[in-house]
Amino acid sequence: MSHFLKPPLERIPPSIVCAADYEAPARERIEKGVWAYLNGAAADSLTLAENLTAFRRLRLVPRVLAELEGGHTGVELFGTRLAHPLLVAPVALQKLAHPDGEIATAMAASALGGAMVVSMEASTKIEDIAAAAPGPLWFQLHILPDREFTLALVRRAEEAGCRALVVTVDAPVSGVRNDEQRAGFVRPSSVAPVNLEGMKPLPPHIAAPGESAIFSSPLAAAAPGWAEIAWLLSNTRLPVLLKGILHPADAARAVEAGAAGIVVSNHGGRTLDTLPATIEALPAVVRAVAGRVPVLMDGGIRRGTDVLKALALGAKAVMIGRPVIHALAAAGAPGVAHLLHMLRAELEVSMALTGCRRLEDATEALLWRDAQA
């Protein structure tokens, strides 16, 4: 039996006017276990909630009668010009959301002049995604216990034309996924992380009573450290970003190690619960990085105003996770294109009403502080 409860929408109803409007039609289409995987978070979902509410707590300062002519949302990242700063975050197994999976997302991102970060755990081969969409792709990976396989994947990503590597560093082990456990999530056999075919599996580890399931496992023994980041950097010419940093000291170390960029992220609240919101962690990371490399962020972006707030606090661009999956599940490629279009249009409205013609005009001065009242 398929995990899809209904076919995707044939046309986008006029009642869908913002990112959040895609959640209900997505949920209606997906069996509850798979939905818990796609939309859920770790433990009590506190970090997921914080990511959203922290944006809502921030207020913008309007500026009037500003010169707007010639404004735009363009940004350059690692030598690629993008029409807007909204990247599609790496999300695994997108065929769980829609039969067209990553191809639909890549086509939409490409059509809207943006970039997509393809997950190492994509349900479509990186070569096939690259062949289907002309737009810029980045490749997200974990440094796997099978280092040889990791390097082979990097070569495949390079040959497919990916323009940057994003190493996820905040998930050496899976989070406590109670939502998935309660809903009984089992990955349907029809959807698989096909880019990982051929990887040497870790030996199975069954902890003896009294033995640690994590610390005594082969996974812990093979977990990457800073030495593996240096190893990867010495084995690729692509810019390497580290994704999943919240602490300014880790950000500074990443830059010193040679990272080309930082993604401030708490994995959308899916790894360790009770972490702070990413928008709250962003300013200290931006200070520690001190302009040496671009800082991106993700987690909780649902509105153009959220994007502007992230830029005001020093992000060069943002990544969007769950909203893309909602739009994909509800309406496939046209849904994702519509979502990105709406977010970009909202960003433009927010820029115009705060007197920003360019993304670089967004500074901390855009945020209303109580002292201003």
Ligand X SMILES: Cc1cc2nc3c(=O)[nH]c(=O)nc-3n(C[C@H](O)[C@H](O)[C@H](O)COP(=O)(O)O)c2cc1C
Kindly list the catalytic residues. Answer: 267
Of the residues 26, 34, 42, 91, which one makes contact with ligand X according to CB under 6 A: 91
Of the residues 102, 179, 298, 306, which one makes contact with ligand X according to CB under 6 A: 298
Q: Does 300 bind ligand X (CB under 6 A)?
A: yes
3-state helix, strand, coil in the chain (%, to 5): 45, 10, 45
Q: Does 342 bind ligand X (CB under 6 A)?
A: no
Select from 150, 131, 108 the least CA-distant residue to 22.
Answer: 108
Query: For ligand X, which is the closer residue by CB, 31 or 361?
Result: 31
Structure tokens belonging to residue 24: 């209900």
Contact 131, 204 (CB under 8 A): no
Tell me which stretch binds ligand X (CB under 6 A): 149-157, 212-220, 247-255, 316-324: 316-324
The gap from C-alpha 36 to its chain's centroid, in whole angstroms, comes to: 18
Tell me which stretch binds ligand X (CB under 6 A): 180-188, 282-290, 305-313, 314-322: 314-322
Q: Is the dihedral of CA 160, 341, 91, 85 positive or negative?
A: positive
Residue 210 CB, nearest approach to ligand X (Å): 33
Site string for ligand X, 250-289 (x = CB under 6 A): ---------------x-xx-x-------------------
User: What's the CA gap between 219 and 89, in Å, rounded?
Assistant: 25
Residue 319 CB, nearest approach to ligand X (Å): 6
Q: Does 355 bind ligand X (CB under 6 A)?
A: no
| Chain position whose Cβ is nearest to ligand X | 321
Alpha carbon distances (Å) from 171 to 41, 91, 159, 265, 363:
13, 13, 26, 11, 31
User: What's the CA gap between 194 and 184, in Å, rounded?
Assistant: 23
Q: Which residues of 166-183 are buried (b: 16+ CB within 10 A; e: fewer)?
A: bbbbbebeebbbbbbeeb
Tell me which stretch binds ligand X (CB under 6 A): 103-111, 197-205, 212-220, 321-329: 321-329
Residue 263 CB, nearest approach to ligand X (Å): 8
Residue 245 CB, nearest approach to ligand X (Å): 12
Q: Does 332 bind ligand X (CB under 6 A)?
A: no
Site string for ligand X, 98-137 (x = CB under 6 A): ---------------------x-x----------------
Neighbours of 53 (CB within 10 A): 11
User: What's the CA gap between 122 and 140, in Å, rounded?
Assistant: 10
> If DSSP states are collapsed to H, E and C, what string results for 45-98?
CHHHHHHHHHHHHCCECCCCCCCCCCCCCCEEECCEEECCCEEECCCCCHHHCC
Query: For ligand X, which is the closer residue by CB, 89 or 317?
Result: 89
Residues 183-242 contacting ligand X, CB under 6 A: none
Residue 134 CB, nearest approach to ligand X (Å): 23
Q: Does 86 bind ligand X (CB under 6 A)?
A: no
Q: Does 89 bind ligand X (CB under 6 A)?
A: yes
User: What's the CA gap between 204 and 202, in Å, rounded?
Assistant: 6
Residues 18-77 contacting ligand X, CB under 6 A: 38, 51
Contact 268, 287 (CB under 8 A): no
Structure tokens belonging to residue 34: 């798979």
Query: For ligand X, which is the closer residue by CB, 9 or 91?
Result: 91
Count, residues near ligand X per rule CB under 6 A: 23
- Write the DSSP string, 25-43: HHHHHB-HHHHHHHH--ST
Residue 266 CB, nearest approach to ligand X (Å): 8
Q: Which amino acid is at 233?
A: L
Query: For ligand X, which is the closer residue by CB, 29 or 243?
Result: 243
- Binding site residues, ligand X, CB under 6 A: 38, 51, 89-92, 119, 121, 140, 168, 243, 265, 267-268, 270, 298-301, 320-322, 325
